[in-house]
Structure 1
Amino acid sequence: MERIREGIGDKLGVLLRGFAMLIAAIVVAYIYEWRLASMMLGVAPVCCICMSLLARQMTSTTIKELIGVGKAGSIAEESLMGVRTVQAFNGQEEMVGRYQTELEKGRRFAVWKGFWSGFFGGLFFLCLFSFLGTGMLYGAYLLKVGIIGSPGDVFIVVMSMLLGAYFLGLISPHMMVLLNARVSAATIYQTIDRVPKIDPYSKAGKRLPNVVGRVKFENVHFRYPSRKEAKILNGLNLTVEPGTSVALVGHSGCGKSTSVGLLTRLYEPEAGNVTIDGTDVRELNIDWLRNVVGIVQQEPILFNDTIHNNLLIGNPGATREKMIEVCKMANAHDFIEKMPKGYDTLIGDGGVQLSGGQKQRVAIARTLIRDPKILLLDEATSALDAQSESVVQSALNNAAKGRTTIMIAHRLSTIREADKIVFFEKGVIVEAGNHEELVHLGGRYFDLVKAQQFKADPEATEEFEEEEIDLDDNSRSSRRSSMTSARSGSEAFQRGNSLNDSFSGSRRSARADAENDAFAAHEAEVMAQDGQITAGYLDIFKNAKGNYIYMFLGTVFALIRGLELPALALIFGWVFEGFTFVPYGGRMMHRMAMAVIAFASVGVGVWISQVASSVLFAIVSENLSLRFRVQSFRNLLYQDASYFDNPAHAPGKLITRLASDAPNIKAVVDARMLQVIYALAAIIANIVIAFIYCWQVAILGTSLILLLAFVMIGLAYKISLMNIEQIKNDEAGRIAIEIIENVKTIQLLTRCELFFDHYQTSSKQQKRSELKKGMIEAINYSITQSFMYFMMCFTYAVGIRVIYDGDKSSDVTFKGIISMMLGAVAVMNSAQYFPEFVKAKTAAGLLFNIIYRKPRTGDLMEGDRPEIRGNILFENVKFSYPQRPLQPIMKGLQWTALRGQTVALVGPSGSGKSTNIGMLERFYDVTGGVLRIDGQDIRNLSLYHLRTQMALVGQEPRLFAGSIRENVCLGLKDVPLEKINKALELANANRFLANLPAGIDTDVGEKGGQLSGGQKQRIAIARALVRDPKILLLDEATSALDSESERAVQEALDRAREGRTCITIAHRLSSIQNSDLIVYIDKGKVQEAGNHAQLMQKKGRYYKLIKKQDLAV
C-alpha cells in the first residue's frame, strides 16, 4: 500500500508536469518555427520507445522482486506472532536465515531494475542530445538560407524542445516509483476484485422467522481446498433435535471441528446438505445464520482493546449489567474485577495480558452475550482449570437449556451429561448414544473413558496405600525419592505459608491510578531504552560497510554524470558565440557541426555514467535495505517478552516498520540520491563557470541558492517532526494485521463491518496527518520548482545591467547567466526528493532504535555453561508483569523439583502456572527472590545454553510455514531422519503422517493452518522430544488431543521424561496423577504440595478438582 500511495501521490504530479512541459514546449516551438520544431520532434518516438521498454522491463522485474519480499514479510509476521516459540527453541537464526533468503531473491531483481533504469534513462539522454545538436545545425542552415530571421528564434525553438524533453527524461526515477505502484496495485486489485464463494457481506438469503434449532447433516462429504487428496468427511449423517445437546468425540483430525465449520459456512460441502429446520444453510442469509449460531472456538481469539469492548463485539447493544451477568456465568467476573481498570482494562495484542484460561472465559462470555439459538462449543473449556471448568460448564449447561447445543471436547467429564454422544472416525459416525449407553457398549468411547479415569479413591484403600508406601521405602529407590520430594515440597509449602502477608485492597480507582503511574514509569523507561527517534545520514552510511567501494565508484560516475549541465552551458555559450560573431556562412555551419559532435559526446558520457552509477547505487541501496531489515528482524527476535507486551511494540506495528521503513531508507542511496549527486556536481561546476565569466551574476545566483538552502532546512525540520508524530500515532497497520490474523473469528461474530469501520477511522486519522504534512511538502515543492524562474529573472536583470554598463560583453555575460540558470535547473531537479530524504532519516531512526536495543535478559551467549542436570528451585520468587507492576503474580513462591522428577503445577486459571514456565525459559526475570537451576541463579547462565537443555510444548502450539520436518527441527542442524521419525512416533504423529502424500515433507501452511489442532499439538510435542532435553516443559501439552491420542502421547511423554526433569501444567488432571510432586498454586503462592495419593488424602483443593473431573464407570 505504501508503494501505491507513493505512486499516486506527488510522483504522479511530477510525471504529469513533465508531460505538460513537453507539450507546452512543442507548442511554443511550433509557434516560432514549425520546420525546426518538426525536425526536433523526431526525438519523441525514440523517447517513447525508451520509456515503453523501460516500463516493460521494470514491470516484469518488480513482480519477481515483490514475490520474494512478500514471502519474507510472511516469515517475519509468523516469527513475531510466535516469538516465544522461536526463542524457546533457539530458532532465531534459522528464522533470520529464511527471512534473508527470501529477501535475497527479491534483491537480485531489484538490482536488475537499477540496470534497466540506467540503461534506458541514459539512452534517452543520448538520443535527446544528439537531436539537440542536429537541431542547432539545422537551425543554422535555416538561418543561413534566410528562412529564420534571427539566431534568437533558433535558440527559442531549440531551448523549448530541450527543456521539455529534458524534464521528461528526469522523471525516470519517478517512473520507477509509478511502475512499482502499478505492480503493487495489480496485486491489491486481485484481492479487491476477488468474489468470495461465501460472501459475509451478502444481503441475499432467507431469514427464518422462528428458529426451532433442528440441525441435520445429510450424507456430507468434504475435503479442504488446499488438501484435495485428504478427505475429511465421508458421508456424514447426523441429526441434532431442537433443544438437545450432542457431543462430538473422536481422534484429532477426524472432522469434528470441520463439521462446525460447515454449519457456520466457513466452508461448503462438496456433496450432501447441512440444514437448519429443514433449510439448507446455503439458502440462508449468512449474517443472519451466524447471529443465530454462536460459537466458542478451540483457540480463543481476543482483540487489542479493553475487556468491555471485546464483549461489545459479541453484542454491540449490550449494557454493562448484561456484561457482568454473562461474565459471572463464564466465571470471569471475579478476575476482571481484580484487574487495574476492571472491565476497562486494555488486554493487549491477542489478549497477551491474560492467561489462556482467562482468555477462554472472556470468549465464552462474548458468545453468551449474543444469546444464540444454536450453541457450538469447540473445546470451549480446554484452557480452564477443573474448578473454573466446573463452574463454567454448569453455566454452559444452563445456557444450553432451550437451545440446540453441539459440543466438541477431549475432556470427557464436560460432555457426560450430553443427550447424545457421537464418535467420529474417518469422517463418519461409528458409535452414538448417551454416556451410560456407550460405556455399556464397551467400544471406542469406553476406551476413551478408561483413559481418563483416576486411580481409586485413597479413602477406600488408605491402609493398603500406607503398606505399599512402606514396602516401596524398602525396595524401590525411585518411589522413595518421589515421596521424599513430595514431603520436601509440602515442607516448602508450609514454610511459604508462614510468610504469608495480609493485604487489604483499596478501591479500584485508587489501584488503577497507582497502576497507571507505575505503567507510566515503565513507559518512560522503555522510551529511554529506545533512545531518540532520529538518525543522521552519516549513521546510515556507516551501516553500508562492505559497500563502500560500490559507493565510491558510483559517486565517481555520478559526478561525471553531473558534469552534463556545465558541459551544456559551455557548449551553449560556444554556440551562442558562433551565432553572434561568426558570419552566417561556412564558418558558422562548421561550428554547428562541431556542436553536434560535442552534444553527442555529452550524450554518450551521460549514458555510460548513468548505467554504471545506477547499477552501483542499486547494489548499495538493496544491500543496505536488506541489512537494515535483517538486523532489525534479528534483534527483534532476541528481545525479552516485556518488550512485546508494550502496546507500542505490538507485532503488527513492528511488522509495519520492517515492511515500510527499510524501503524508505533506500532514498539516500538509490536513484534519488544519484539525482542529488548529479545536481551537486552541476551546481558547483556551474557556479565556478559563472564566476569565471561574470562574477556579478555568480554572486547573485549563489546568494539565491544559499537562501533556498536555509528555507529547505527549516521545512525539513518541520516535516521530520510531523513524520515522527505520524508514526507514533499510526494504528491502521496494526489493526489491519489484527483483522487479517483473526478474519475467521470476525466473520463468525458477524462484525466485518465493525472492524472495517474501525480500520477506516484509523486510516482517516492517518490521512489527516498526511494532509497536514502534504501542505508543508507542497510549499517546499512550489518554492523549489519556481526557483529556476526567479533565478532567470534576477540573473537576466543583473546581466543586462552589466552589459549596459559595459563591464562585460554580451556573449560572456550570457555564459554566466546560462551557467546559473542550469545550476537552478539542477537545484529544482534534486529538491523534489527532499521530503523522501527526510522520511529516510526518520525511518533510519526507528530502525536504529530496534537494532541497538539490548534485551533485559542480556546477551544470549553470555554467561556460564555448566552441565545442566535438572534440579530446579523457586526460592521466595516474586514477580509482576511490567505492564501491571502493582499486580503481583508471584508473592514469595517456593517449590523444588529434583533431577529426574516430574512436577505438575495445578491451580486456577491466571494463578501464575504458565508464568513459572516463562521464567524458566527466561522470557521474564524474577523481580524478587531467586530462581535456581542446579544451585545457580538462572540469570548467571548463558541463555542460549539454558534453552538448548530445555524443550517447551506450549498451551497454544505454534507452527511455522514450511514442512513438518522443518518444524520438528526448528533451531537444530543436521538432525538424522531416524531421530525425527522416532520423535514423531513418540508423539503419536506417525498415524496421520502416513495419510499425507509427502509425509514429513508436507507443508503445514502458514501458522500450521493445514493441520488440525490435535495434529499441530503432536508436531509440537515431537519438536520438543527430538531435542532430548534435560528439562521438559509441558504447558497443557495434550490439551488439544483426543483421549486415545492423549493416552498414547502421555505414555510416550512418561517414557521421554525418564532421566530428565519434567515440569507439566495440565487442567486435565488424569494426565498428571503419576507425577512425583503436584504443586497447587493460587494467589501467587503454593497452597498445597504432595503426590496424588497424599493430596487426595488431604481432601483439600486438589481433591475437589479431582472429584469434578472423575469419570467413574
Structure 2
Amino acid sequence: MGIEKIKMTSLKKLKSEERKEHEKEKNSNIEFVSFFGLFRYGTKIDLLFMLIGTIGAVSNGVILPYMMLVFSNIIDGFTDYGKVCNITLLTNTSFSDSDVNPLTSRLKNQIFYLIILGIATMILSYFQVAFWLMPAQKQARAIRKALFSSILKQDIGWFDVYKSGELTNRLTDDIDKIKDAFGDKFGNAIQNLATFVGGIVIGFVKGWKLTLVILSLSPLILASAIMFTKIAQVLTSNELKSYAKAGAVAEEVFSAIRTVFAFNGAQKEHKRYEEKLDEAKKYGIKKATINGLLMGFIWIVINGAYALGFWYGWTLSLNNDPVTGLPEYSIGKILLVFFSIIIAIFSLGNAGPYIGTSATGRGAAFEVFKIIDRKPTIDTSSEEGNKPVDVTGNIEFNNVNFNYPSRPDINILNGLDLRIKHGSTVALVGSSGCGKSTCIQLIQRFYDPLNGSVKLDGNDLRSLNVKWLRSQIGVVNQEPILFSTTIKENIRFGQDDVTDEQIIEAAKNANAHEFIMSLPEKYDTKVGDRGGQLSGGQKQRIAIARALVRNPKVLLLDEATSALDNESESIVQAALDKARLGRTTIIVAHRLSTILNADLIFAFESGKVKEFGTHADLMSQKGLYYKLVVTQQAGMKSLASLDKINPIIEEKSKLNVEKQNSMFGISGENLTKRLRSKGFKTMLKQDIAWFDNQENSVGILCTKLAVEAAAVQGAAGIRIGALLMNLGNLGIGLVLALVYGWAIALTILAFVPFMIVGGVLQTKMLTGFSGKDKEVLQDAGKISIEAISNIRTVAILNKEYHFWNLYSKKLDVPYKAAIRSSNISAFMLGFTSSITFYAMAAAFALGAYLVENNLFGMTFENIMLVFSCIIFGAQSVGQASSLMPDYAKAKTAVNSMFELFERPTKVNNYESTNGITIEDKDFKTDISIESVEFCYPSRPDAKILKGLDLKVKKGQRVAFVGSSGCGKSTVTQLLERFYDPDNGTIKLNDINLNDFNLHWLRSKFGIVSQEPILFDMSIHENIAYGDNSRQVTREEVIEAAKKANIHDFISNLPLGYETNVGSKGTQLSGGQKQRVAIARALVRDPKILLLDEATSALDTESEKIVQDALDRAQQGRTCIVIAHRLSTIRDSDVIYVLQNGIVTEMGSHEELMKFGGFYAKLNKKS
C-alpha cells in the first residue's frame, strides 16, 4: 500500500487516538514540578546568592515587627510621661514645660533606632532583591538554553506531533512564568513570611492569650490557600496550552502570509487566533475569579480576626491580675500585640498573590521540563555509534517494515528489499505516496524501521553515529529551505571548513555563480526569511551548491532540478552527473526524463519494489514503469520539461478585596487577550513589504505577540489591584494624618518627593534595560522559530549546535543587561523603602516636641492615630515599590505595541471598504500592463521590471516563459496587488488596479503555486478557504475536489473531508497537497486563473487528469500560466517571453518556433 492509501487507512483510528491524547493531556493537567524542582538549574553560586537573598529577605522581613518593639517603647515613653504629669492616658490635658527634657531623653534612643532600621532596610532590600533576581535571570537563561537544546535533538517523529509555534511559546512565555516563580517576587514572599513569623513571635512573647485568639481563624486561611494552589495549577496548565496553540496559529499564518492575503483570509485567521485566545482567557478568568474569592475570603477572616482581637483585648484590659491588682493587659501591651499580629496577617495577605505566581510557574515548569527530560529515540547529540573510516556507499533495505510514529497502526513499507551498489545511480519511481520519500527519510535516519534493517556498507544504520551518518549524505529536496543569512553562509552550511574558493566552485557547478555575482552584495547577499529574497529556481541552485560543497558519499536528489529553467537545467544536470561519479546517488523523480540514464530504476507500489531494471529493460517488460512512461508521454511531446523560473527577488518573506482581585484579574485577562488580538489584527493589516523586512520575520512577530502582551499583563490584572489598594491605604492614611495631625503629616509628605524621584529613576532605568532585552529576545525568538520550523534541514546538515550557539549568544546579551538592571532595581527599591523609616523618625520627634510644648492642640490620641496611619502607609509604599520592575517592562511593551497599532499602511490587507467593485456581468478580464517598472522594497537597487508592456484579453490563455529572474512571478504578485509598480500602470477592465476594492480584486483571481501551503485544519476547511467571503457548502467543496482529481482519495479517508491535514499539510504527500490547493483555487470560481507550475508536484498518473481538469477550468476564464513544461503551454493563445524585465518575444507556439528566437531554443533543449 502506498503512502497515499496508507495515510487513508492511518486516519481510521484518528478519533480514538485524539481522544486518548486528550485524556492524557487532561490527566497531565494536575501535574506540576515540586517547589524545589524549580531550582534544578541553579549552580552552587546561584544557591549561594539565593541563600544571601533569603537572609536579606528574612532580615528585611523582621525589621517591621522589630519596629513594633520600638513603637511600643515610644508608647511607653508617652504613657510614663503622662503619669509623671499626673494626667489620664488618652485625655486632652496639656503637658508641663518642666518635664520636656525627660520625654525627649526617653524618645531620643528610639528615634535613633528608627534611623538605624532605615539604613538596614536599604542594605537588606538590596541583598533581598539583587540576590534573588540575579540567579533567577541566570537560571531562566539556562532553562531556555536547555529547552532549545532538547528540542533540537529530538527525533523527527516527535516533531510530527508538536507544532513549532507551541514550542517557541514554551521558550518565551512559559519560561518567563517560571522565572517569576523564583525571582524577586519569591524574595518578596519570603520577606512577607518573615514579617508574618516575626509578628507572631512578638505577639506570643508579649501576649500569648490575645495572639491565640486573633490567630484562631488562621487555619481557614491556610486551608483555602492550599485548595487554591491545586486548582490554579490545573487552570494554569490549560491556559499555557491554549496560548501555545494561539502561538502556533500565528506562526502558521505569518509563514504563509501571501496565501492568506491572496484568499482574503486575514479576518478568518484573526478569528481562528481569537478562538485560541478565548480558550486561554476562559482559564485565566477562572483562575482570577478563584484568586479573587480566595483573597476576599482571606480578608474576611482577617477583618474577623481584627474584630475578635479588639473585643478580647478590651476584655483583658478590664481584668485585673489577682497578684498585682493591675490590669492583666496594659493598653501599650494590647497595642503592641495587636499591631504585631495585624502586620503579620497583613504580610501574609501580601504573600498571597505569590501562591498564584508559584502555581503558574510550577505548571509551566512541568511542561518545559517534560520536554527537556525527554530522551529521543534517535539522539543527534550522542557521540555513540561507529564512525567508519572508509565509506563506499553500498545501501541495503532488508525486509523493511515501517510506519510513522504518529500512525503506529499503519504500515508504510511492507517488507521492502532493495540493493544499491556503491557508485551507482538509482531512481525510485511510482505513484504519489507509494513510499519513495519514506526510503529517503530512512536513509537519513529521520526514523528507524519497525522490522528489518537499512544498512550502509553492511553496517546497520542504527549502529552508526547519527551525526557522522548524516555528514556522509547530501540532500536536495523539491522545496529547498534556506536560512536567514548570506548566500555564502547558506552554502557553507553544507561543510563548515570549506574555503571561499570552494564555495564559489560549488556555486559554479550549480549554475548559481552568475546570478549571485549580478546581485549588489554578491555572496554576502542576505537571502531573507526562508530564502524569501530569492526566486524558487535561485533557492534550488543554492541548495544544490550546499549539497555539492560537502562532497557527500551518498547523494539524495528529490526533484533536485524541478525549480530550474531549461537553460540552467542542462548545465546543473551535467554538474550533478559529474557529482554522481564515485558516489551513490538516489533520485526520486516524477519527471522520468531525469532518470533515463540511471543504472537501475526501482518502480514502487504499495510499499514494495514492484519491478526494477534499466529504462530499456523496464520498457520492454511493459509493466508498472512502462505505464508511468506512457501516461506521461500522453500529456506531452517529450519526457523533459522546462523548469519553473521565478524573479531574482521574490519576497515571500508576527470594592472589596474579593471583587478587587477577581475583577482586576479578569480585566488583566481581557487586556491580554485584547492586546494579543489587536496586535495580530494590526499585523494582518500590513503590506507585504512590511513582512519582507528582516525586523518583521516570523520569529520576531511571534515573539512580540507572546512576550509583550505577557509583559503588560505582568503589570496589570491583580497587580493593578494591589497597587491601587496600597496607594489607597497610603492616601487615606495621609488624609487622616492631615486631619488629626497636619504638622506631622506635612513632615511625612516632605519625604514623598524622595520616594517619587526614586521610583521614577528606577522605572526609567529599568525601562531602558527592558527595551534592549525585548529587541534581543525577539532576535533569539527568530532564531528558534527558524530552526524548529525547518528541523529536517537543520538535522541533515548537522546544524543543531550551530543554531543553539546562535541562540545562546543572543541570550547572553540580555542576561548581562538583566544583571545590571537587577542591581539598579535592588538599590532603588532599598532607597525608597528606607525613606519611610526616616519619615517616621522625623514624625515621632516632631510629635514629641509638639505634645511637650502643647502646640497646635496635639494630643497623645492624635499622635497614636497619625502613627497608625504611618505604619500601614509604610507597608503600602514598600509593596508599591516592589512592583516597579514589572511596570518598567510593561511600559516598554506598551510603547512597542502602540507603535505598531499606530503604524500607517499603504493598503489594508485585513479589511477593504473603499474602491471600485464591478458586477460580474459588466466585468471584463482584459489586463493591460503599460511601461511598468518595479523593484522590491527590500532590494531598491535591483530593478526587476524595466518598462514591461503586455496585454491579456478576456478569455485568453496566456503563458509567461523566460530565464530565472526575468520577472514572470513578479507580474502575478503585482496583479494580486502584493506590491504596486514604481512606474507605469496595470489596468483591469481599463481601470487602474489601485482604484479597485482590494478584497474584491483578489476575489477575482484564483492562484495555484508550485509550493502549495495548506493550513492546520480539515480538508474541507482548506478547500473552502478559497472563498472566505461566504459559507462554502460541502457540495461546492466536493465539486471542486472532483475537478482537482482529489475527491476519491478524500472519500476513502476515515474522516473524509473532516480529516486534518496537519501543520503545513504534513499529513498529505506533495501531490495530494497540490490537488487540494487546486481545488481551493477552483472553489471560488475565479474569473482569472494564475497557474504557477500548478502540476509540478503531481505524479504522472495524476498529472494528466489534473491537467485535463485545469484545461476544463480555464474555459471561459482568463488564464495566466507560468510553466517550465513547454508541453503544458503550447496551446496558449499568446506566449510572452520575458528577459531582463521586458518582453522580448510574443506569439503563439507555432509563431515563436518559426521566429527561431529564445523560445525556440528552449524547445530544442527540452
With the shorter chain as reference, the TM-score category is 0.7 to 0.9
Is residue 391 of structure 2 the alignment partner of residue 334 of structure 1? no
What's the offset of the Cα at 1:76?
A: 1.2
- Which residue number corresponds to residue 67 of structure 1? 241
- Which residue number corresponds to residue 1111 of structure 2? 1054
Give 1:153-192 correspondences, 5 Å limit. 153-192=333-372
- Which residue number corresponds to residue 845 of structure 1? 895
Among 661, 686, 698, the alignment partner of 1:614 is: 661
Distance 1:270 1:72 in 2: 35
Among 755, 758, 763, the alignment partner of 2:806 is: 758
Give 1:380-459 correspondences, 5 Å limit. 380-453=560-633
Is residue 291 of structure 2 the alignment partner of residue 113 of structure 1? no
- Which residue number corresponds to residue 844 of structure 2? 796
Among 897, 915, 920, the alignment partner of 1:863 is: 915
- Which residue number corresponds to residue 290 of structure 1? 470
Q: Retained in 2: the 8 A contact 1:230–1:995?
A: no
Q: Which amino acid aligns with 1:948?
A: S
SS at structure 1 position matched to 2:723: helix
Is residue 264 of structure 2 the alignment partner of residue 90 of structure 1? yes
Distance 1:918 1:230 in 2: 42
Distance 2:882 2:238 in 1: 29
Q: Retained in 2: the 8 A contact 1:3–1:181?
A: yes
- Which residue number corresponds to residue 913 of structure 1? 968
Instruction: Give the direction of change, closer, same or farther, for the CA distance of 1:457–1:113 in structure 2 (3 Å limit).
Output: closer
Is residue 252 of structure 2 the alignment partner of residue 78 of structure 1? yes
Q: Retained in 1: the 8 A contact 2:947–2:1141?
A: yes
Q: Retained in 1: the 8 A contact 2:1050–2:1056?
A: yes
Moved more, 256-265 or 1060-1069: 1060-1069
Deviations 1:841-880 (A, max 9, x none): 3222222233333332356332111244322222111111
Q: Retained in 1: the 8 A contact 2:635–2:1104?
A: no
- Which residue number corresponds to residue 775 of structure 1? 823
Q: Retained in 2: the 8 A contact 1:907–1:1081?
A: yes
What's the offset of the Cα at 1:137?
A: 4.6
Distance 2:630 2:1136 in 1: 25
Distance 1:234 1:10 in 2: 58
SS at structure 2 position matched to 1:314: coil
Give 1:590-629 correspondences, 5 Å limit. 609-629=656-676
Is residue 772 of structure 2 the alignment partner of residue 725 of structure 1? yes
Give 1:249-648 correspondences, 5 Å limit. 249-453=429-633, 557=655, 609-648=656-695
Q: Which amino acid aligns with 1:612?
A: K
- Which residue number corresponds to residue 965 of structure 1? 1020
- Which residue number corresponds to residue 525 of structure 1? none
Q: Which amino acid aligns with 1:627?
A: R
Deviations 1:1023-1066 (A, max 9, x none): 00111100111122122111222221111111111111111212
Q: Which amino acid aligns with 1:935?
A: D
- Which residue number corresponds to residue 131 of structure 1? 305
Instruction: Give the direction of change, closer, same or farther, for the CA distance of 1:1068–1:862 in structure 2 (3 Å limit).
Output: same
Among 413, 418, 421, the alignment partner of 1:238 is: 418
Q: Which amino acid aligns with 2:995?
A: N
Deviations 1:929-977 (A, max 9, x none): 1111122111111110011111111222111111000011114332222
What's the offset of the Cα at 1:337?
A: 1.3
What's the offset of the Cα at 1:228?
A: 4.0
Distance 1:431 1:59 in 2: 58
SS at structure 2 position matched to 1:231: coil
What's the offset of the Cα at 1:838?
A: 3.0
Instruction: Give the direction of change, closer, same or farther, for the CA distance of 1:113–1:786 in structure 2 (3 Å limit).
Output: farther
What's the offset of the Cα at 1:450?
A: 4.1
Distance 2:883 2:869 in 1: 23
Q: Retained in 1: the 8 A contact 2:1016–2:1065?
A: yes
Distance 1:977 1:633 in 2: 30
Is residue 206 of structure 2 the alignment partner of residue 32 of structure 1? yes
- Which residue number corresponds to residue 14 of structure 2? none
Q: Which amino acid aligns with 1:394?
A: A
Among 1028, 1031, 1037, the alignment partner of 1:980 is: 1037
Q: Retained in 2: the 8 A contact 1:36–1:135?
A: yes
What's the offset of the Cα at 1:158?
A: 2.9
- Which residue number corresponds to residue 18 of structure 1? 192
Distance 2:984 2:628 in 1: 43
SS at structure 1 position matched to 2:382: coil
Deviations 1:417-474 (A, max 9, x none): 211122222212223222233333344433443455599999xxxxxxxxxxxxxxxx
Instruction: Give the direction of change, closer, same or farther, for the CA distance of 1:223–1:1075 in structure 2 (3 Å limit).
Output: farther
Distance 2:267 2:892 in 1: 28
- Which residue number corresponds to residue 1084 of structure 2? 1027
- Which residue number corresponds to residue 893 of structure 1? 948
Distance 2:1009 2:827 in 1: 55
Distance 2:676 2:211 in 1: 50
Structure 2: gaps of 5 or more residues: 1-174, 322-326, 639-648
Q: Which amino acid aligns with 2:797?
A: L
Q: TM-score, normalised by structure 2?
A: 0.80
In the alignment of these two chains, the number of paired residues is 963
Distance 1:103 1:1061 in 2: 41
- Which residue number corresponds to residue 726 of structure 2? 679
Q: Which amino acid aligns with 2:221?
A: C
- Which residue number corresponds to residue 738 of structure 1? 786
Q: Retained in 2: the 8 A contact 1:117–1:172?
A: no
Q: Which amino acid aligns with 2:614?
A: N
Deviations 1:553-583 (A, max 9, x none): xxxx1xxxxxxxxxxxxxxxxxxxxxxxxxx
Distance 1:236 1:1070 in 2: 36
What's the offset of the Cα at 1:782?
A: 2.1
Q: Retained in 2: the 8 A contact 1:50–1:121?
A: no
Instruction: Give the direction of change, closer, same or farther, for the CA distance of 1:662–1:457 in structure 2 (3 Å limit).
Output: closer
Instruction: Give the direction of change, closer, same or farther, for the CA distance of 1:228–1:897 in structure 2 (3 Å limit).
Output: farther
Instruction: Give the direction of change, closer, same or farther, for the CA distance of 1:930–1:453 in structure 2 (3 Å limit).
Output: farther
Q: Retained in 1: the 8 A contact 2:636–2:1127?
A: no
Q: Which amino acid aligns with 1:765?
A: V
Instruction: Give the direction of change, closer, same or farther, for the CA distance of 1:648–1:239 in structure 2 (3 Å limit).
Output: same
Distance 2:1162 2:608 in 1: 34
Deviations 1:61-114 (A, max 9, x none): 222222322222211111111011011011111111111112112212211111
Among 921, 926, 934, the alignment partner of 2:989 is: 934
Instruction: Give the direction of change, closer, same or farther, for the CA distance of 1:1096–1:433 in structure 2 (3 Å limit).
Output: farther
Instruction: Give the direction of change, closer, same or farther, for the CA distance of 1:1091–1:430 in structure 2 (3 Å limit).
Output: farther
Among 772, 775, 796, the alignment partner of 1:748 is: 796
- Which residue number corresponds to residue 296 of structure 2? 122
SS at structure 2 position matched to 1:202: coil
Distance 1:441 1:906 in 2: 37
Q: Which amino acid aligns with 1:367?
A: A
Distance 2:676 2:1141 in 1: 41
Root-mean-square deviation (CA), in Å? Answer: 2.3
Distance 1:1065 1:776 in 2: 61
Instruction: Give the direction of change, closer, same or farther, for the CA distance of 1:703–1:878 in structure 2 (3 Å limit).
Output: same
What's the offset of the Cα at 1:140?
A: 5.2
Moved more, 109-118 or 674-683: 674-683
Q: Retained in 1: the 8 A contact 2:293–2:662?
A: no
Deviations 1:8-47 (A, max 9, x none): 3221221222222223333333443455445555454333
- Which residue number corresponds to residue 115 of structure 2? none
Query: % of aligned pairs identical?
Result: 39
Structure 1: gaps of 5 or more residues: 459-514, 516-521, 523-529, 531-556, 558-608
Instruction: Give the direction of change, closer, same or farther, for the CA distance of 1:905–1:439 in structure 2 (3 Å limit).
Output: farther
- Which residue number corresponds to residue 542 of structure 1? none
SS at structure 2 position matched to 1:171: helix
Instruction: Give the direction of change, closer, same or farther, for the CA distance of 1:191–1:206 in structure 2 (3 Å limit).
Output: same
Is residue 183 of structure 2 the alignment partner of residue 9 of structure 1? yes
Instruction: Give the direction of change, closer, same or farther, for the CA distance of 1:457–1:828 in structure 2 (3 Å limit).
Output: closer
Distance 2:431 2:596 in 1: 17
Among 689, 692, 696, the alignment partner of 2:739 is: 692
